[in-house]
């Protein structure tokens, strides 16, 4: 039972770095948080960018390689408008159904597409479904990636805008990393209106609570050149 519990924690524990280095929050006790979006870019992403700009908010977008290949212009627009981008894999598979070699290949393929489209190498990575698996550590090391999990994630792919916004406003704390979605895995032209509506309500609420949105890198206090080693150990030690 102990071995099974350890294995489950290694794969799915948000604070685990047993299979690959990662962080899941910033320092507590600060009036800051990071807003992140997975599964983009999509045809809906520009509307979200307009909303974030209207609130002077910068976010971190974890992009799927296949979607970047389909919509490279939108991926570049995310960066051009001041946001941070990270690797979210290429095809959004369940890594637990893949071999370590396939996991490695999915991450590296996405990194290459991002480099080709954007002209630089992202340094953050979020695994599909947040699940870690063998092969991930080697890919992160070779690509210079730090894994990023989350502290708060409403089910914005199925909940109403009211439910999403309520979940966020009731649970958000300083140092949190919020996970939302501007895409729906590999879907073309996905409907993310609920997410956008909820984000608008949440940003209005968080502003009244003196919480300031930052990118993940800003929140955890890390720069790309820090990732030469196992950065997560030194970052977590500060928390």
| Catalytic option among 38, 39, 156, 182 | 38
Residue 22 CB coordination number (10 Å): 28
User: What is the phi/psi pair of residue 50, to 5°?
Assistant: -60, -40
| Catalytic option among 176, 181, 191, 225 | 181
Cβ distance 74 to 45 under 8 Å?
yes
Q: Is 60 helix (H, G, I), strand (E, B) or coil?
A: strand
Q: What is the DSSP letter of 95?
A: G
Question: How many angstroms separate the CA atoms of 24 and 220, rounded?
Answer: 9
- Closest C-alpha to 25, from 170, 223, 238, 229: 238
Is 38 part of the annotated catalytic residue set? yes
Question: How many angstroms separate the CA atoms of 221 and 238, rounded?
Answer: 10
Is 181 part of the annotated catalytic residue set? yes
Alpha helical stretches, state H, 119-215: 136-143, 161-171, 193-208
Residue 177's Cβ-count burial label (10 Å; 0-12, 13-18, 19+) is buried
- Structure tokens belonging to residue 72: 């490279």
Which are the catalytic amino acids? 38, 181
């Amino acid at each position: 039972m102990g071995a099974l519990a350890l294995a489950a924690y290694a794969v799915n524990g948000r604070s685990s770095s047993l299979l690959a280095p990662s962080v899941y929050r910033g320092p507590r006790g600060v009036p800051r948080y990071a807003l992140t979006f997975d599964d983009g870019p999509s045809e809906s992403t520009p509307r979200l960018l307009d909303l974030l700009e209207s609130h002077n908010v910068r976010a971190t977008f974890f992009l799927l390689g296949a979607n970047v290949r389909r919509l490279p212009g939108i991926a570049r627009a995310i960066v051009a408008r001041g946001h941070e981008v990270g690797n979210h894999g290429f095809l959004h598979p369940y890594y637990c159904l893949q071999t370590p070699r396939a996991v490695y290949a999915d991450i590296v393929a996405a990194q290459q597409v991002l480099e080709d489209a954007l002209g630089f190498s992202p340094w953050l990575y979020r695994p599909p479904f947040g699940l870690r698996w063998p092969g991930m550590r080697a890919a992160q090391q070779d690509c210079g990636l730090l894994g990023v999990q989350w502290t708060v994630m409403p089910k914005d792919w199925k909940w109403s805008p009211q439910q999403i916004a309520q979940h966020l406003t009731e649970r958000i704390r300083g140092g949190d990393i919020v996970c939302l979605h501007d895409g729906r895995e590999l879907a073309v032209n996905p409907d993310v209106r609920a997410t956008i509506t909820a984000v608008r309500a949440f940003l209005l609420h968080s502003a009244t609570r003196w919480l300031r949105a930052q990118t993940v890198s800003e929140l955890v206090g890390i720069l790309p050149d820090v990732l030469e080693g196992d950065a997560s150990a030194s970052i977590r030690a500060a928390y």
